[in-house]
Amino acid sequence: MEGDSMRIVEAVKLKSFSKLSRSSYIGDNLSALSEIFKEKINISIWQRKLDSNIRKEAEDIINLNPDLQLSTVIYPKDIKNFLLSNVKSENSSLIYQDITKLADVFCNLFNSEKVSLRFGTLDHAMCPRFHVDMVQCRLITTYHGVATEWLQHSKVDRTKLGLGNKGRPDEESGIYQKSDDIEHLEEGHVALLKGESWSGNEGAGLVHRSPKVESVNQKRLLLTIDFSDK
């Protein structure tokens, strides 16, 4: 009886979640990110193009730090020195300035003093299955390589998330209907991904996954910024 009750509750929740309406906002300037505060937006994207010098610095960081994995809680003003102390580089002043700028943007948007920052190289898909994050909001940008894949809310069968896929790969589980449903960020794009923990967004967190990295020559250089608990 208890198991039946739990299944009924879950079915009611899924039916309720299916009625939620969410969409994306895409713009070509920094102000696009602030659209994340609108209730019906679960991803806001600044479609910027990286400066060629930043691209070069990103390549140098990958070559000199093939196994780079940094994670810290930090004030934006301390990021440059932290990176200088932990990343081998001939000259990465522009990319360090950019990371500091994005951390400042995150803090200003969400009235935070510190951020939880992760910066590193990837030669595989860190999160290869479509999923949602149990966070309020996450900033993500790829400085080099293929970037994050995501699905519009209206194109997702959320019953196929997690155990609902019954062990089948995304391509067979029915979480999306056709390959054209998959959206792709590009190198340099900056996105804010609204998670399940955002107030009022349960059942509407952005569904996304890491892209496949076909070879070691396609290593990614990825930055994520989250809320700090400290």
CA distances (Å), origin 220, targets 13, 51, 65, 115, 148 = 37, 17, 12, 22, 11
One-letter identity of residue 51: D
Q: Look at residue 228 and give its three-state secondary structure.
A: coil
- Which overall architecture, per CATH, does domain 2-227 show? Sandwich (2.60)
Q: Are 222 and 140 in contact (CB under 8 A)?
A: yes
Would you say the pTM of this structure is higher than 0.85? yes
Q: What is the pLDDT along the chain (230 residues), one digit of tens a residue?
A: 433 333 433 443 444 455 689 999 999 999 999 999 999 999 999 999 999 999 999 999 999 999 999 999 999 999 999 999 999 998 889 999 999 999 999 999 999 999 999 999 988 767 778 999 999 999 999 999 999 999 999 999 999 888 888 888 787 788 889 999 999 999 999 999 999 999 999 999 999 998 887 766 679 999 999 999 75
CA–CA separation, 131 vs 138, rounded Å? Answer: 14
φ, ψ of residue 68 in degrees (nearest 5) = -65, 125
